[in-house]
Structure 1
Amino acid sequence: MIRLERLRPDHADALLSFERANRAYFARTIPDRGDAYFADFPARHAALLAEQEAGICHFHVILDAEGTLAGRINLLDADAGTAELGYRVGERFTGRGVAKAAVRQVCRLATDAYGLSTLTARTTLDNAASMAVLAGTGFTTVGETVVGGRPGLRYARRLT
């Protein structure tokens, strides 16, 4: 069982620890955030909160049943009823349905709380787990793309 919480200032320390602990794991299938992300994390976190306050993006942490930060899931560039879905789940939480459960929950939030009607997503071709999550939660492949210099696929899901 997981729950989503909208990103808050008090999530900063847990989020930074999560990103540091999983950096090498994430870099295997998605572009690395780079050293500046970690060095400037407080400013980056504040900027995300400002974007969220402005309604541009909707950021969430994924918590397990014990309240441990298991991942993050975001709706980026919300405009005209559409946003781009992005998520990452920590290595020790993979293979347990966390990503699928989080995507299902954020799809409900996208419709009910944020008034969105369509979500898009992208993933690299070497990220089979992410492709399976997207396919298993109602997203369909709509084309090819490049993600951080790597070949990938674009997905979309109509919510209403």
Structure 2
Amino acid sequence: MPGSDEPPEPAEPPRLHLLRPDHAPALLAFERENRAWFAASVPDRGDDFFARFDEMLRARLAEQEAGLCYFHVLTAPGGEVLGRANLVDVEAGVADLGYRIAERAAGRGLATRAVRELCGLAARTYGLTALRAAATLDNVASRAVLARTGFVRTGETRLDGRPGLTYLRAL
């Protein structure tokens, strides 16, 4: 109520959802709008990803159905995709973690929240025992998310030709 001393009701926070076919339009918009932002810190998906998006999405959903990967979207209450958090190459109780947050939503703790939630899902729902991750040396924000969420540095790597670090988290 205007003029009231009571704080406003908090907005519903973004939610993490397992990827579904109906996420396609919002997911494609998210990827297009943030392509340059992402390419500054992670390997670019390439033109083929966008040209064959529908085909790629069907393939990802089939991988998910087979239990090989688990793809998630972080959505605002209206359905806008604000981020992604994925578990790929699931094998022998271990998977690789990847995540990305929209430029306009960065710096609000959404990546940390999504990674924490996904770690819980990985253990409770998907039966995983550990997650691997990697980040380029110049991606300070991503390395900070991994540190805040319990990942331990395990070594060095190269990502799309750029120097990076590898991480592991037991679940």
TM interval, shorter chain, is over 0.9
Q: Percent identity?
A: 58
| C-alpha distance in 2 between matches for 1:149 and 1:53 | 32
Written as runs of structure 1 = structure 2, the 5 A alignment for 1:45-56 is 45-56=57-68
Partners of 2:123 and 2:93 in 1: how far apart?
Answer: 9
Answer yes or no: is 1:33 the counterpart of 2:45: yes
- CA drift at 1:69: 1.0
Contact 2:26 2:79 in 1 (8 A): no
- Output the aligned Cα RMSD: 0.8
C-alpha separation in 2, matches of 1:23 and 1:44: 17
Tell me by how many angstroms 1:41 deviates: 0.3
Aligned to 1:133: 145
Query: Which residue is equivalent to 1:5?
Result: 17
Cα deviation 1:95-149 (Å, max 9, x = unaligned): 0000000000000000010000100001111100000000000001000001111
Tell me the residue number matched to 2:9: none
CA distance in 2, matches of 1:3, 1:139: 22
Aligned length: 159
- The structure with higher relative contact order (CA 8 Å, sep 6+) is 1
Aligned to 1:157: 169
> Structure 2 residue aligned with 1:123, among 132, 135, 158?
135
TM-score, normalising length from structure 1?
0.97
Please identify runs of 4+ aligned residues in structure 1 that moved more than 3 A.
none
**1:38 aligned counterpart, secondary structure:** helix
Give the deviation of 1:77 after TM superposition: 0.7
Within 1, Cα distance between the matches of 2:144 and 2:27?
A: 25
Question: CA separation in 1, counterparts of 2:24 and 2:82?
Answer: 14
Q: Is the 8 A contact 2:88 2:96 kept in 1?
A: yes
- Aligned counterpart, 1:110: 122
Q: Which residue does the alignment assign to 1:58?
A: 70
Deviations 1:5-56 (A, max 9, x none): 0000111111110000000000111111111110000000000000000000
Give unmatched runs, 5+ long, in structure 2: 1-12
Structure with max Cα Rg: 2
In 2, Cα distance between the equivalents of 1:70 and 1:42? 20
TM-score, length-scaled by structure 2: 0.91
Q: What CA deviation, in whole Å up to 9, does each residue of 1:67-98 have, x standing for no partner? A: 32101000001111100000000000100000
